[in-house]
Amino acid sequence: MEMGRPALYDSGMSSSLALPSPAPLRLPPLIVACLAATWLIWGSTYLAIKWALVSLPPFFQMGTRFVAAGILLGAFARWRGAPWPNRGEWLSAAVLGALMLGGGYGATAVAQTSVGSGLVVAFIAVVPALVALAQLPYGVRPSRLEAAGIAVTPLWRLAPQGMRGLPWTAWLRSSGSGLG
């Protein structure tokens, strides 16, 4: 081995230096936990709705879900020292809750009584694009990043639908979930 020359060159490799591979991205454990919770909890919502529809009517199911979430969030906010909502905030929350239950999540649960949860997810995947289109007449245009998100959302939301033949989806098919 020549003086000053690394052993790497003496192993028959070319004389150009190889670049080191980049270190893997290390996310903090809290970020990993939050992402995992989002993927698992939010990602399984439509399957859970489909299963709950076996024994509960759609609006009752979604309403109890809203009440439970409200109680948990309210208790957490009070524990953190937040003041109790005033009359105007209660009114706004009631209007928003009625719209979400009646037109959003409630309608989703009703739809899942007759179609598979996979088809419901397919329709929900295009909602960001529909919202962006509805805002165009008012001069509101999505930024480049928002447009990229709108374009990518259907891809990752619908990807499992294109993977129906893969072995790991067999448990979905056997569960009768409509996802596999």
Is the residue at 29 inside a domain? no
Q: How many domains does the chain have?
A: 2
The answer to whether residues 105 and 124 belong to one domain is no
d(CA 87, CA 2): 83
Using CA atoms, how far apart are residues 117 and 50, in angstroms rounded to an integer? 7
| Whole-prediction pTM | 0.55
Domain containing residue 83: 53-114
Residue 59 has pLDDT above 70, yes or no: yes
- Low-confidence winner among 94-103, 125-134, 160-169 (lowest mean pLDDT): 160-169
- Residue at 176 is within a domain: no
Q: 70 and 101 share a domain? A: yes
| Claim to verify: residue 119 and residue 67 sit in the same structural domain | no
Residues 128, 100 within the same domain: no
The rounded distance, in Å, linking the Cα atoms of 70 and 58 is: 18
If asked whether residues 108 and 130 sit together in one domain, one would say no
Residues 89 and 124 in one domain: no
- Asked, for residue 46, whether it belongs to a domain, the answer is no
What digits encode the pLDDT tens for the residues 97-112? Answer: 889 888 888 888 888 8
98 and 119 belong to one structural domain: no
Q: Do 85 and 57 fall into the same domain?
A: yes
- Give the span between the Cα atoms of 160 and 122, in whole angstroms: 10
Residue 134, domain member (yes or no): yes
| Same domain (yes/no): 91, 120 | no
Least confident of 80-84, 90-94, 117-121, 143-147: 117-121
Locate 79 and state its tokens: 């524990």
| Residue 44 DSSP SS3 | coil
pLDDT: which is higher, 88 or 9: 88
